[in-house]
Structure 1
Amino acid sequence: MKKFVFLLPLLLLLSCNKTTLFTQTLDDFNNNRWQKNEMKVFHFDVKKDVKKADIKLTFSHTFDPQYERVPLEVIIENPDGTKDNMFLNLQLKDASGDVVSDCAGDICDLEMGLKEGLTMPAGKYSITVENKFEGEYLPNVIALGITVENND
């Protein structure tokens, strides 16, 4: 019986495991500027059908980016050619002006869930992220990443 008590927490940990299907980070922002006309595209294959997937976006910026939010358009293109368009605002600062990202020194990361519990049939996917900032470019950008996890 004692062995079972010790194994139970381990079994619970293993049963909640997420598997990363895809992860990519783009850090090719010239002078830390994301140009308005520069769409970032992530291509990946899902090898077998997934019943419950989570898609997350990570936005890395300097400690004081000089703006409170980042307006984005995200387009997820499915293997059958259908597209799911999302418009969102990444909130980098709270109402009192404090940065809400996780910061280590001068580099800050903000992670945001795009989709949760998504059914993903096997096939080729692409996720396009476009900056909708009002200026010619979005300053103080370090990196942009996408992670897709299997939550089965």
Structure 2
Amino acid sequence: MKKYSLIFILLLFSCNRNVVYSEFNKDFENNRWYNNDVKTFHFSIENEANYTIRLHLGHIFGFPITDFPVLVGINNEEKDIYMDIVNVKIIDKNGKHLGDCLGDICDVYAVILTQKLEKGNYTIKIGNSLQSSDSQHQYLPYILGVGIDVNKED
């Protein structure tokens, strides 16, 4: 039994060796992500290399739309690296949920950027870009949290 426990622990740690940064922000009043609520993340890169930056969205199962736009800005101390809208897909064209769900809690990941990053400090700002003509619904419902994962590529 001890042998299997040791193998499991080694596998657990070896799977995360390329993670440079991972943060998940759960600060959403009534599970709503309002259009004016921009989430900010800060991380450091110690070694110049290729990295993948992913958006992590946690939501309650039954999300009322199939996809939505998120405005993402990335900069380091010297310049803007990236500014674009990332379309986060929740449900595919066949109606299949694209996230990992456990009960009614789901996690969806979307790649924001894969590129070489220089050593330094970085800031990522993420905002809900879903536009609604209904002034009472200027938010995304069912949101549990949003986060960023930064992984060094092999």
Question: Same fold by TM (over 0.5)?
Answer: yes
Alignment CA distance shift 1:39-1:17 (3 Å): closer
The separation in 2 between residues aligned to 1:17 and 1:39, in whole angstroms, is: 28
Say if 2:19 is the partner of 1:20.
yes
Asked whether the equivalents of residues 24 and 148 of structure 2 are also in contact (C-alpha less than 8 Å), the reply is: yes
Matching residue of 2:75? 77
Deviation at 1:17, TM superposition (A): 7.5
Matching residue of 2:130? 133
Mapping 1:113-132, distance limit 5 Å? 113-116=111-114, 118-132=115-129
Matching residue of 1:31? 30
* Aligned partner letter, 1:28: D
Matching residue of 1:11? none
**Residue 63 of structure 2: SS of its match in structure 1?**
coil
* Aligned partner letter, 1:148: V
Report runs of 4+ in structure 1 exceeding 3 Å deviation.
Answer: none
Deviation at 1:78, TM superposition (A): 2.0
The separation in 1 between residues aligned to 2:92 and 2:130, in whole angstroms, is: 19
**Percent same amino acid among aligned pairs?**
31
Asked whether the equivalents of residues 33 and 141 of structure 1 are also in contact (C-alpha less than 8 Å), the reply is: yes
Aligned residues: 136
Matching residue of 1:5? none
Deviation at 1:44, TM superposition (A): 1.3
Who wins on radius of gyration, i.e. which is larger?
1
Matching residue of 1:42? 41
Matching residue of 1:99? 97
Alignment CA distance shift 1:40-1:121 (3 Å): same
* Aligned partner letter, 1:20: V
Deviation at 1:85, TM superposition (A): 0.7
Matching residue of 1:53? 51
Mapping 1:62-73, distance limit 5 Å? 62-73=60-71
Tell me the C-alpha RMSD between the 2 structures.
1.7
Unpaired runs of at least 5, structure 2: 1-13, 133-137
Asked whether the equivalents of residues 48 and 118 of structure 2 are also in contact (C-alpha less than 8 Å), the reply is: yes
TM-score, normalised with respect to structure 1 = 0.82
**Residue 31 of structure 1: SS of its match in structure 2?**
helix
Matching residue of 2:8? none
